[in-house]
């Protein structure tokens, strides 16, 4: 299986039975633009058809896992409803593909994982997070319902009473707190993150294939069944808030600050 036709914003490294998927916009903190969004929606089917693959590691290039949506791309939705609706459809595809992906996925959260980056991380089967990294879901802060993020699946993973504050405010969740809440598996020293993730991936790859994949399939049934209604409601609510004046104002203010 070759991955040469994927956009350069996403790379797939091959190491025996392990595939390392790298969000590859390091200068932009791996913020998700149109091309990376498309790649994230389509790479999982490619990986599932790779007969030699057994485990996937997901990480970011440079000092971030992902800073979330690229501001220039997201701002363009304000006056382009077709692109906005396509991004929502593709966003749902990303989550659905991750949930039904048959191979174990180990997240190596090397830096900030924000918005969609946070969603990608916590939907992985095992989440290793650098002690210097953090999670955040700032949808509400920019006037959006967190339909493709925390509102949909944090309640399945965390004590709701403890996680609401972070979800409602968009505040950063330090690595150790993320583990405590159930949004990450364990912390690692920054320099040990990728070596530990790859060591774990090789250990998983050595497990009996059918038993491991069957266990993942049954485990994810709980998530898929519980998320079916919440996902639909979440994306519908997010679509409404994407058309709101408050979202426009907050997003444009954020974009102006980012350009200074």
Q: What CATH number should be reported for the domain holding residue 33?
A: 3.90.226.10
Q: Report which of 1, 134, 141, 126 is spatially closest to residue 57, judged by C-alpha positions.
A: 126
Q: Does residue 226 belong to any structural domain of this protein? A: no
What pLDDT is stored for residue 233 in this prediction?
Answer: 85
Q: Does residue 252 belong to any structural domain of this protein? A: no
Residue 125 belongs to what domain range?
10-209
134-136 and 173-174 as β-strands: parallel, antiparallel, unpaired?
antiparallel
Helices (H), 79-143: 81-100, 116-122
Q: Does residue 135 belong to any structural domain of this protein? A: yes
Residues with Cβ within 8 Å of 192's Cβ and at least 6 positions away in sequence, in order, are none
Tens of pLDDT, residue by residue over 186-219, are 999 999 999 999 999 999 999 999 999 999 999 9
Q: Does residue 251 belong to any structural domain of this protein? A: no
Q: Does residue 99 belong to any structural domain of this protein? A: yes
**22 close to 11: Cβ distance less than 8 angstroms:** yes
134-136 and 55-60 as β-strands: parallel, antiparallel, unpaired?
unpaired
Tens of pLDDT, residue by residue over 67-79, are 999 999 999 999 9
Regions of the chain short of the pLDDT cut 50 = none
Cross-strand partners of 32 = 69
The answer, as to whether pTM is greater than 0.85, is yes
Q: Does residue 149 belong to any structural domain of this protein? A: yes
- Residue 21: exposure state from Cβ atoms within 10 A (0-12, 13-18, ≥19): buried
Q: Does residue 84 belong to any structural domain of this protein? A: yes
Q: Does residue 94 belong to any structural domain of this protein? A: yes
Number of domains in the chain: 1
């Amino acid at each position: 299986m070759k991955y040469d036709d994927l956009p350069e914003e996403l790379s797939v490294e091959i190491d025996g039975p392990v595939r390392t998927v790298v969000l590859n916009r390091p200068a932009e903190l791996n913020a998700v633009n149109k091309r990376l969004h498309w790649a994230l929606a389509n790479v999982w089917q490619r990986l599932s058809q790779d007969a030699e693959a057994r485990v996937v590691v997901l990480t970011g290039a440079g000092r971030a896992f992902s800073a979330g949506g690229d501001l220039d791309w997201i701002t363009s939705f304000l006056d382009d409803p077709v692109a906005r609706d396509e991004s929502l459809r593709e966003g749902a595809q990303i989550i659905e593909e991750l949930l039904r992906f048959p191979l174990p996925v180990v997240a190596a959260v090397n830096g900030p994982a924000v918005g969609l980056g946070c969603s990608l991380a916590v939907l992985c089967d095992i989440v290793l997070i650098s002690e210097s990294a953090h999670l955040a879901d700032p949808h509400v802060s920019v006037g959006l319902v967190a339909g493709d993020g925390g509102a949909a699946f944090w309640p399945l993973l965390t004590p709701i009473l403890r996680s609401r504050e972070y979800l409602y405010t968009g505040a950063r969740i330090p690595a150790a707190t993320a583990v405590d809440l159930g949004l990450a598996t364990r912390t690692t020293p920054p320099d040990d993150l990728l070596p530990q993730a790859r060591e774990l991936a090789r250990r998983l790859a050595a497990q009996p294939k059918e038993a491991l994949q069957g266990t993942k399939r049954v485990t994810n049934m709980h998530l898929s069944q519980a998320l079916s209604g919440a996902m639909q409601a979440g994306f519908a609510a997010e679509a409404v808030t994407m058309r709101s004046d408050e979202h426009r104002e907050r997003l444009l203010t954020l974009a102006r600050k980012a350009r200074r």
